[in-house]
Structure 1
Amino acid sequence: MKSIALAGLLAVSATFAAAEGVNHKVAVHVDQNDPAVMNMALNNVDNLISYYTEQGDTVTVEVVTYGPGLTMLIEGKSPVADRIATMTMEHEGLTFDACANTLAGMEKKAGQKIPLMSEATVVPSGVVQLITLQEDGYAYVRP
């Protein structure tokens, strides 16, 4: 009798979980100053958000940039600035991380402050951010 009640409870729980949808978490890695790679990363983000939304699920995406890929988030230099601005407004769970280590190195080399796009969030280390996200259950994507 207890096993029937437990089976019924599990079925009801599964139904509620399916109705609520699943929250997927994805980390996207960009470390190249290549417009094709940056656009591919953004295409991946658009496609996965569309897919999961159609499934009734939610998705949280962090695009993590470092090294030459930080150019993706530099004000006035990003070849994908318009896409980033539009996508950020369209997708609530989308963030763009900029590596503080890379930024400091660029600023030292340039001898001046490097302005980032308003959509950028500075994180202490891009590599550490990717590791932390994966430890927190984020799927890892590198275009």
Structure 2
Amino acid sequence: MRTAFHLTSGDEDHQNTVLTIAENLSKDETIEMDDIAVVAQAEGIDPVTRDGTHSDTVQELLDSGIAFKACSNTLDMMDLDDGDLVEGVETVSSGASELTRLQEDGYAYLRP
């Protein structure tokens, strides 16, 4: 199974909730997970930036095998570039198109 999380909120508690759910899913031994991806866009981009409130958590989750993808439209809008992202975060053309691709590839879509 594969799951994609959509991270769009600037609220730190909500961001923490999304990251915690993704981590818990990756550790749940009652379900066979092949891939987990978190797509960050709009105000949800903060955790995947080097100076983001949850950047340490993002790095830990990346190291555990969870993929993180940043919307390039959001990066442009916020005057950020790849160098501002936590190492290992992939830049995608847009959050919406990436989520569409992931769902077409069989990922379940979650937006906690």
| 1:98, distance to aligned residue in structure 2 (A) | 0.4
Structure 1 pair 139–74 and aligned structure 2 pair: CA distance change class (3 A) = same
| 1:105, distance to aligned residue in structure 2 (A) | 1.2
Following TM superposition, where does structure 1 have runs of at least 4 consecutive aligned residues deviating by more than 6 angstroms? none
Quick one: which amino acid aligns to residue 2 of structure 2? Answer: K
Aligned to 2:11: 34
Report the TM-score, using the length of structure 2 for normalisation.
0.89
Q: CA offsets, 1:47-80, max 9 Å, x none?
A: 11111xx23723301100111111121211x111
Structure 1 pair 49–79 and aligned structure 2 pair: CA distance change class (3 A) = same
1:125 aligns with 2:94: yes
Aligned to 1:100: 72
Aligned to 2:58: 84
2: distance between equivalents of 1:47 and 1:59? 14
Structure ID, larger Rg: 1
Identity of aligned residues (%): 31
1: distance between equivalents of 2:31 and 2:108? 19
Please give the residue correspondences for 1:17-96 in structure 2 after superposition, counting only pairs within 5 Å. Answer: 24-51=1-28, 54-55=29-30, 57-76=32-51, 78-89=52-63, 91-92=64-65, 94-96=66-68
Q: Which has the higher helix share?
A: 1
Gaps of 5+ in 1: 1-23
- Number of residue equivalences: 111
Gaps of 5+ in 2: none
Report the TM-score, using the length of structure 1 for normalisation.
0.71
1:137 aligns with 2:112: no
Tell me the secondary structure at the aligned position of residue 37 of structure 2.
strand
If asked which structure has higher relative contact order (CA below 8 Å, sep 6+), I would say: 2
Aligned to 1:9: none
Tell me the secondary structure at the aligned position of residue 58 of structure 1.
coil
